[in-house]
Amino acid sequence: MTLPNIALTLSTGEQYPLETYAGQVLLVVNTATQCGFTPQLEGLETLYQTYRDQGFAVLGFPCNQFGSQEPLANEDIAPACQLNYGVTFPLHQKCEVNGTQTHPLFQWLKQEQGGILTDDIKWNFTKFLIDRQGNVIKRYAPTTTPEQIRKEIEEVLK
């Protein structure tokens, strides 16, 4: 399998295809700046800095569907995450991860790795690990910290 041809838009408005990451290991996360899990941004950045030279990337997708916990405008999200958590991994424009306006990336992710009881994403900081061949190999609950995923990322990077 390969990564699907899905258009992504960075928080700056710059567009690019998901296929840009072909051959890399990806961790896709729906984020929010006002969530109890927001401190995970620091751990996600640590993973990104530790493994990016081995072909690993974290892709953040802000979402305001859970308790309105992403109130910032697109252009303000990346600077806030950089200032408060040192985030340098790519942050994208806000998107919906459930419902009729679900972003195509999250449609694909949920199709490949469904959830418990329902495929809907339950909350901010749901994570999806994608291998170098474009297979979505695991879905992680928001309570799973970046540190708990480290060993699985190392295995997929081999």
Instruction: Please identify every residue annotated as catalytic.
Output: 35
Angle at CA 115, nearest 5°, toward 110 and 117?
130
Q: Cβ(57)–Cβ(27) under 8 Å?
A: yes
H/E segment holding residue 60: strand 56-62
Report CA Rg, the chain: 14
Which among 101, 79, 99 has a CA at the least distance from the CA of 88? 79
CA distance 127 to 111: 14
Q: How many CB atoms are located within 10 Å of the residue 122 CB?
A: 14
CA distance 6 to 104: 7
